[in-house]
Amino acid sequence: MSKDLYAILGVSKTASKAEIKSAYHKLARKYHPDVNKDNPQAAEKFKEISAAYDILGDETRRQQYDRNEIDADGKPTGFGAGFAGGFGQGNPFQGADGYYYTSSAGGKGADFDFSSIFNDDIFSAFSGGGFRSRNRARKGEDIAYTMKIDFMSAVNGSERQVNVGGRSINVKVPAGSVDGQTLRLKGLGKPGYMGGENGDVLITLNVTKHPYFSIEGQNILMELPISIKEAVLGAKIIVPTINGNVAVKIPQYASSGEKLRLKGKGLKNFKGVGDQIITIKIISPKTKSPELEQLLKNMPDENTRSF
């Protein structure tokens, strides 16, 4: 049974180009050999995923696949595959380049235009006693690679050396990069065909989690634990940001869940500049304090609930 490329990527046949690309990147990160060194089956799965995206990620080849003009391996199907009659007096045969030719000289098929069947990509018109392939330049294949990088190197930008396809490549990670983002290195992929341009290298970032920072859009989020004393009396606290430490003033009688905003301390990239959002979290003392307990008992009761 022929492979279903859409099923391999886990998308429907009506999926958009963006949906197909997103599904591919998700699976590529999951099955990349660099993160599955103890799982030899992952390498085969990665090859299968990459081969499926090589066809479905290209609009022209996807249309050919949908029309059953090429199979799941990208080879011509239908006309010429198992064709035993032939036009004129010759039978077609498949050349080393994957195209079909015939050795007939003349015959009633001499003016047949195969571009109507093969979308003008495989054959030119029948001419001069046989089919001739259309020697068109074609871009080389892209190479997909997943690169693991720590949180701070991604958000502040960095440079890394990676080995892709047996070559050492310098990768510049722009500031403000996030997990799942793909960097395109033009012309560093596989060589083109018939003088076509080289493919690209697609670097998908696998950003490790930070112990106290997280990202929401352009903003950096963090939770700030404070003591009861700091919450009631207020305080000035040194807190970290992605660009270094800053002093933050905690207002008197602060409550858990209140938020403080540090303008311009978020991600900085082509989308703009975000902020750092600090959420206050009041932490009770870890050691028993009779004095604190008596003080709180002497305080008047206050209803803080509305239910």
Arithmetic mean of pLDDT, 292-298: 87
The model's pTM is: 0.54
Q: Which CATH number covers residue 262?
A: 2.60.260.20
203 and 264 belong to one structural domain: no
Q: Is residue 236 part of a domain?
A: yes
Domain boundary residue among 191, 209, 227? Answer: 209
- In this model, does residue 128 exceed pLDDT 70? no
Between CA 271 and CA 194 the distance in angstroms is: 39
227 and 250 belong to one structural domain: yes
Higher pLDDT, 262 or 90: 262
228 and 180 belong to one structural domain: no
Higher pLDDT, 238 or 98: 238
Domain boundary residue among 209, 234, 265? Answer: 209
Q: Is residue 229 part of a domain?
A: yes
> For residue 202, what are the domain limits?
138-209
- In this model, does residue 159 exceed pLDDT 90? yes
pLDDT of residue 107: 38
200 and 222 belong to one structural domain: no
Residue 99 makes CB contacts below 8 A (sequence gap 6+) with: 76, 122, 123, 131, 133
- In this model, does residue 3 exceed pLDDT 90? no
198 and 229 belong to one structural domain: no
186 and 233 belong to one structural domain: no
Between CA 148 and CA 158 the distance in angstroms is: 13
Nearest residue to 135 via CA among 118, 123, 151: 123
294 and 218 belong to one structural domain: yes
Per-residue pLDDT band at 208 (split at 50, 70, 90): very high
Q: Is residue 100 part of a domain?
A: no
Per-residue pLDDT band at 181 (split at 50, 70, 90): very high
pLDDT of residue 135: 56
220 and 202 belong to one structural domain: no
The tally of domains found in the chain comes to 2
Domain boundary residue among 209, 229, 261? Answer: 209
pLDDT in tens, 7-66: 999 999 999 999 999 999 999 888 887 778 788 888 889 889 998 999 999 999 999 989
